[in-house]
Amino acid sequence: MKMHNSQIFKQLNFYKSYNLPIFIILFLSSLFTNSSLFLLLSSLKQLDKESNMTLIFIILFGLLFLISISMITIIISINFNVREKDLINRRLIGLAFHKVFKNLLLEQSIIMIPSYILGFFASIFLNKLLIASLINKSILASSFSINYSFINIFLVLLVSFITLSAIMFLSTKKYKRIENNYKIQKNKKKQFFKILIGSLFLTSYFLLIIFNNTEVLYLFGGIFFIIGLYFLLEIFIVCIAKVLFKFFIKYFTISSSIKNMEFNADLITKIILMLVNSMIFLNFSINVINKMGIESYELNQNAEYLNGLMFLGSYLNIVFISFTFIILINGFLMYLKSLQKETETLRKLGFTRSKIFLRNIFQFLIIWIFYVLLSFIGTTLISIIWKDQSALLNLKYWYIEIFVVLLIMLFLSLIEWTSKFLKRNELTS
């Protein structure tokens, strides 16, 4: 038993760079969702049924819960993709499937449970800051306070427990595929099903944004778009890579980079989905929630409602940016880790580190181009079709995000190249 526990902790330590981002994202998810749920439950008892702030707290909790689940699922999927080969190797050397699965389940539990507990307690301190700020801005009455009754705490913990169990189930469900992963078999029926479902969602998305001018589609239309990409994007990347490979086959540096992207299409798909997902939520917050606040004020001069909506928009922007920054760094670091073995092989073949660095930059630029095109279709295209002038005026935020993503990609590549350069100098000195 002691040996087994020791093995789990060694596994945790070895994969700390993979598990730390999961821990941080789960902590933030627990922090924001528990905080918003306490606000909602407290408002139901202390505010009038006609109060606009109750509606705002409902929207806040719903959006935070949705973004948290989607971001956690994506980051676990990205990290699993990079670890998958190691897990398959463990099966090939004779480790029983139930042992590999049990170790992974315990590892996930050690990461997730403390993270959620810390987030729960941190949400109490966050609520103190939020309530003080909302009272100071005259959004809430000075008598408003968070109700930490037994029932409220029980409900919040119950939601957290169900959410955590669902996340652990989804993450370990992926690990169960290890049993047959080393026997690679193409399932034509599954491919056909993915193409059919993905095409239906993408077709529905385009029909919605062309024939229905409703601002809520900035969010729900975007969700249709993300689901469609979930089923089709990997297939699309593989097909594009095959075509580009034939076109650039005479240029080894480019063609080998394209072939590598084809092999890593699943990982690239998840990274792009993460980025587009973040852009859709941020676009909804900026162009719908903030706009609602201005229009509501013009209609009824309700200062409380206006301030509440402005708070909602600002708070959601902070949350989305926090999630995006962490997951963005994790996603691209995981992609760089997936290139390590290939890099070692290329070094043995005589490739210089500078040439390998340029190959990595080339691959990141291709990913970035995919991201820019898809985020344009999922956000800005709607504004152009509807001729939404206020949204088009906010296009600067779209430009800021796409170029910040590009800078982070280049910065991470440069850091990796520099660290390897310094290590080489240490070994030779």
CA angle 68, 335, 79 (to 5 degrees): 45
Residue with more model confidence, 166 or 263: 263
Helix (H, G, I), strand (E, B) or coil at 9: helix
Name the nearest CA neighbour of 30 among 126, 118, 128: 118
| Mean pLDDT calculated for residue range 205-211 | 91
| Mean pLDDT calculated for residue range 370-386 | 93
Name the nearest CA neighbour of 33 among 159, 148, 136: 159
CA torsion angle 301 303 308 312 (round to 10): 60
pTM given for the model = 0.81
Share of the chain above pLDDT 90, in %: 25
Name the nearest CA neighbour of 367 among 342, 338, 402: 402
Residues 51-89 have pLDDT tens digits of: 778 888 888 898 888 888 888 887 887 777 767 666 666
pLDDT band at 131 (very low <50, low <70, confident <90, very high): very high
Q: Is the torsion defined by CA of 71, 75, 80, 82 positive or negative?
A: positive
| Mean pLDDT calculated for residue range 389-408 | 89
pLDDT, residue 302, reads 58
Quote the CA–CA distance of 182 and 160 in Å, as a whole number. Answer: 35
| Amino acid at residue number 316 | L
Helix (H, G, I), strand (E, B) or coil at 117: helix
Share of the chain above pLDDT 70, in %: 83
pLDDT, residue 118, reads 94
pLDDT above 50: residue 399: yes
pLDDT above 80: residue 375: yes
| Mean pLDDT calculated for residue range 307-326 | 81
CA angle 130, 135, 137 (to 5 degrees): 95
List the chain domain ranges.
1-185, 201-429
Residue with more model confidence, 190 or 196: 196
pLDDT above 60: residue 395: yes
pLDDT, residue 181, reads 47
Residue with more model confidence, 344 or 377: 377
1 token code pair = 């038993």
Quote the CA–CA distance of 424 and 429 in Å, as a whole number. Answer: 9
| Mean pLDDT calculated for residue range 1-26 | 72
pLDDT, residue 185, reads 46
pLDDT, residue 4, reads 52
pLDDT, residue 427, reads 56
Residues 252-304 have pLDDT tens digits of: 878 888 988 888 888 899 889 888 988 888 888 888 776 665 555 454 545 66
96 token code pair = 């029983």
Residues 343-373 have pLDDT tens digits of: 777 777 777 778 888 888 999 999 999 999 9
pLDDT above 80: residue 428: no
pLDDT, residue 182, reads 45
pLDDT above 80: residue 407: yes
pLDDT, residue 184, reads 43
pLDDT, residue 96, reads 63
SS3 content of the chain, % helix, strand, coil (to 5): 90, 0, 10
CA angle 239, 243, 248 (to 5 degrees): 140
Other C-beta atoms closer than 10 Å to the C-beta of 330 total 23
pLDDT above 80: residue 172: no
DSSP codes, 243-256 = HHHHHTTT-HHHHH
pLDDT above 70: residue 112: yes
